[in-house]
């Protein structure tokens, strides 16, 4: 499971000109699922997202989590995080989980964040062509990965 996590001042996602989700200060999480990912990977990633200390404290050190600063989380599915372009110029997606496997995992991740935290959680739509807008704060961007077991 892979996630690109960006600290943002604001972020939104829409599809076909219709808004799907938006947050103010918080985290934009682009997430992709690999073939071997499961519910344990989802729980691990959700906990990392909630506890990741990438917001500054009074001393200017990255010492606060999104929960500590009262931020929101916008989760957007992005299977292209598993794109492999090491050979040739067209990426292959063999390592990405099939949609019928990854869509339930995506829903679990969003539900985990919404139900088990007090965070404001919004999401994109699985399988949709989406437009994502963000203002990166910092910029701060973190890549998290959990290898399938």
Q: Which residues are catalytic?
A: 78-80
Contacts of 12-17 with CB under 8 Å at 24 or more apart are 12/74, 12/132, 12/133, 12/134, 13/74, 13/76, 13/122, 13/123, 13/124, 13/130, 13/131, 13/132, 13/133, 14/130, 14/131, 14/133, 15/124, 15/125, 15/128, 15/129, 15/130, 15/131, 16/128, 16/129
């Amino acid at each position: 499971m892979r996630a690109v996590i960006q600290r943002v001042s604001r972020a939104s996602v829409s599809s076909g000109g219709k808004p799907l989700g938006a947050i103010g200060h918080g985290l934009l999480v682009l997430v992709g699922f690999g073939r071997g990912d499961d519910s344990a990977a989802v729980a691990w990633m959700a906990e990392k997202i909630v506890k990741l200390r990438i917001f500054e404290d009074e001393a200017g050190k990255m010492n606060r989590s999104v929960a500590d600063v009262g931020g929101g989380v916008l989760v957007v599915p992005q299977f292209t995080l598993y794109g492999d372009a090491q050979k040739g110029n067209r990426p292959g997606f063999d390592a990405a989980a099939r949609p019928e496997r990854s869509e339930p995992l995506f829903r679990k991740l969003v539900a985990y964040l919404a139900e088990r935290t007090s965070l404001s959680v919004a999401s994109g739509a699985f399988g949709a062509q989406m437009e994502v807008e963000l203002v990166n704060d910092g910029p701060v961007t973190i890549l998290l990965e959990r290898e399938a077991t």
